Amino acid sequence: MKSIEIKGELRKSTGKKDSKSLRNEEKVPCVLYGGKENMHIAVLEKELKKLVFTPNVYIVDLDINGNKHKAIMKDLQFHPVTDRVIHIDFLEIFEDKEVVISIPVEIQGLAEGVQAGGKLQLINRKLKVKALLKDLPDTLEINVEKVALGKNVKVGELDFDNLELLDGGNTVIATVKLTRAAKGMSEDEEEGEGEGEGEGEGEGAEETTEESSKTKE
């Protein structure tokens, strides 16, 4: 999995007053936990934009006063009015311990149902997995080429090397729905077939009548 470096500094004090002071300086109060002890740190708000405002998921290389820590973002809080980031919890991770993290889904291939006029709908954009740090992929690649109209892809149908999928087996990831246009085309085709059958029956009836007349003569 790709990583991103973010610099932070240890906070001299904690509490609401200190947090407010940090935000006035365009810094975000954060906590790094999961190691020997929790660390209260401050990070420049602009440093976090490349981590927060993206669909990608990263391993975070936290540089705290010159000391390096690997982490993942576990909790994120926004201001209810301004939408500014006001707090982040980071979980420290280690090479020899499994990590639980949500990874983006990447759809590959053109579904049979889409070729037939349907529309692919992505229901879950991320899936929760558990794996060692070295086995974490950037995305979960899912091939949908064989998915027909009205069918879907579920977690239970997937299998990835060295990854444990934590979402329920019946969790739907993507589905191919019948569009109104495709439904209209299907109904038109059925009507056309019905008309063709009717015409055939009429022709057969005429031929039978003619043959019957000749026999009588």
Sorted by where each begins, the domain ranges of the chain are: 3-93, 100-177
Q: Is the pLDDT of residue 209 over 50?
A: no
Q: Is the pLDDT of residue 148 over 80?
A: yes
Q: Is the pLDDT of residue 194 over 80?
A: no
Query: What confidence category does residue 179 fall into, taking pLDDT thresholds of 50, 70 and 90?
Result: confident
* Residue 35 and residue 92 in contact, taking contact as beta carbons nearer than 8 Å: yes
Give CA–CA dist 107/113, Å, rounded: 14
Query: What confidence category does residue 178 fall into, taking pLDDT thresholds of 50, 70 and 90?
Result: confident
Find the Cα–Cα–Cα–Cα dihedral 204, 205, 211, 217, rounded to 10°. Answer: -170
Q: Which residue has the tokens 């009205």?
A: 150
Residue 10 tokens read as 């240890």
Query: What confidence category does residue 149 fall into, taking pLDDT thresholds of 50, 70 and 90?
Result: very high
Between 202 and 162, whose confidence is greater? 162
In the DSSP assignment, the letter for residue 77 is E
pLDDT digits (tens, 9 = 90+) for 115-140: 999 999 999 999 999 999 999 999 99
Considering the domain delimited by 3-93, tell me its CATH architecture. Beta Barrel (2.40)
Q: Which residue has the tokens 């809080």?
A: 77
Query: What pTM was estimated for this model as a whole?
Result: 0.76
- Say if 3-93 and 100-177 have the same CATH topology: no
100-177 belongs to which homologous superfamily? Ribosomal protein L25, C-terminal domain (2.170.120.20)
Neighbours of 201 (CB within 10 A): 9
Give CA–CA dist 150/172, Å, rounded: 12
Buried b (16+ CB within 10 A) or exposed e, 173-189: bbbbeeeeebeeeeeee
Q: Is the pLDDT of residue 210 over 50?
A: no
In the DSSP assignment, the letter for residue 161 is T
